[in-house]
């Protein structure tokens, strides 16, 4: 496993589970400061975090590392359809290798949507004391009927070609990225999906940031996590916000993440 270099360039790559994954890092390396690891949403990638990594590094003094999962961004493609347990596989098989490659010593996992599920699974599956906090943006730990209409709307936009053209600017294998996501979340069989058992085994405190107008998942997700988690959980339910708090309410989201990281990591920095 080749280690990721924080000094040569912000952009680079690592290899995990046999796939080349694009990656980027901002701020100080892990041997100089704690690290925030960003886990993107179901249609995201490194580039689609926009300026969030740089702003987080500046606001917290931490290093910030982002990578595109296989099938996304400029990373290697994957075969479709994705298996039903693909989020669990990402947490068990890929994320540990990523953390090793970046030289992770201590820090916080920040996940958005599917990325929040991967962080939630990892925190319950792996006894990793290096992870001292979780930040889950638009979290989901069980499936809801509520989101099917929103997903169907996105499917229609992709089939019309408009959304596909936009996503192709960011994903080298755009059908792989989109169909891997939509194929899973559009299937009525997904209604049996849950990762609540992982939440019940958390060892780290968490911050949940959700939009009150989220068109995929309701605030029942945050309430379930609050009820199940054995660790302290803080929640921020944002008005005038749908599924991307970091872009729709950027100041409130950044301030909340920075305050949480300071609380969890500040004393030792």
Does any domain span residue 20? yes
User: Per residue of the chain (269 residues), what is the pLDDT tens digit?
Assistant: 567 888 767 888 999 989 999 999 999 999 999 999 999 999 999 999 999 999 999 999 999 999 999 999 999 999 999 999 999 999 999 999 999 999 999 999 999 999 999 999 999 999 999 999 999 999 999 999 988 888 999 999 999 999 999 999 999 999 999 999 999 999 988 999 999 999 999 999 999 999 999 999 999 999 999 999 999 999 999 999 999 999 999 999 999 999 999 999 974 44
Does any domain span residue 153? yes
Does any domain span residue 233? yes
Q: Total domain count for the chain?
A: 1
DSSP string across 171-233: -TTHHHHHHHHHHHHTSGGGGG-B-HHHHTT--S-EEEEEETT-SS--THHHHHHHHH-SS-E
**pTM, rounded to two decimals:** 0.96
Does any domain span residue 1? no
Q: Using DSSP, how many helices (H) and how many strands (E) does the chain show?
A: 11, 8
For 120, phi then psi, to 5°, come to: -65, -40
Residues 117 and 88 sit within 8 Å (Cβ to Cβ): no
Closest CA to 142 of 100, 197, 104: 197
Domain that holds residue 205: 11-268
* CA count, 13 A, side-chain hemisphere, 151: 21
How many CB atoms neighbour CB 70 within 10 A? Answer: 22
Closest CA to 130 of 100, 101, 111, 108: 108
CATH no. for residue 181?
3.40.50.1820
Contacts with 251 (C-beta within 8 Å, 6 or more apart), sequence order: none
Cis previous bond, 81, omega within 30: yes
Does any domain span residue 245? yes
């Amino acid at each position: 496993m080749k280690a990721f270099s924080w000094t040569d360039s912000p952009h680079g790559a690592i290899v995990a589970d046999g796939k080349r994954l694009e990656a980027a890092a901002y701020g100080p390396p892990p041997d100089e400061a704690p690290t925030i690891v960003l886990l993107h949403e179901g249609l995201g990638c490194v580039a689609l975090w926009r300026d969030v990594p740089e702003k987080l590094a500046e606001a917290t003094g931490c290093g910030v590392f982002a990578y595109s999962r296989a099938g996304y961004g400029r990373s290697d493609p994957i075969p479709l359809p994705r298996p039903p347990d693909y989020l669990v596989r990402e947490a068990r098989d890929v994320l540990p290798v990523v953390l090793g490659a970046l030289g992770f010593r201590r820090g916080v996992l920040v996940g958005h949507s599917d990325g929040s599920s991967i962080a939630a699974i990892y925190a319950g599956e792996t006894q990793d004391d290096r992870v001292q906090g979780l930040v889950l943006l638009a979290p989901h730990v069980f499936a809801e009927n509520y989101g099917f209409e929103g997903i169907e709307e996105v499917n229609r936009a992709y089939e019309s070609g408009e959304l596909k053209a936009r996503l192709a600017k960011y994903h080298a294998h755009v059908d792989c990225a989109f169909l891997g996501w939509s194929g899973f979340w559009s299937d009525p069989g997904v209604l049996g999906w849950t990762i609540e058992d992982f939440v019940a085994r958390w060892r780290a405190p968490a911050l949940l940031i959700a939009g009150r107008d989220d068109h995929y998942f309701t605030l029942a997700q945050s309430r379930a996590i609050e009820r199940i988690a054995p660790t302290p959980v803080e929640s921020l339910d944002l008005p005038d916000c749908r599924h991307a708090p970091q872009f729709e309410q950027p100041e409130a989201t950044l301030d909340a993440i920075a305050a949480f990281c300071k609380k969890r990591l500040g004393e030792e920095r």
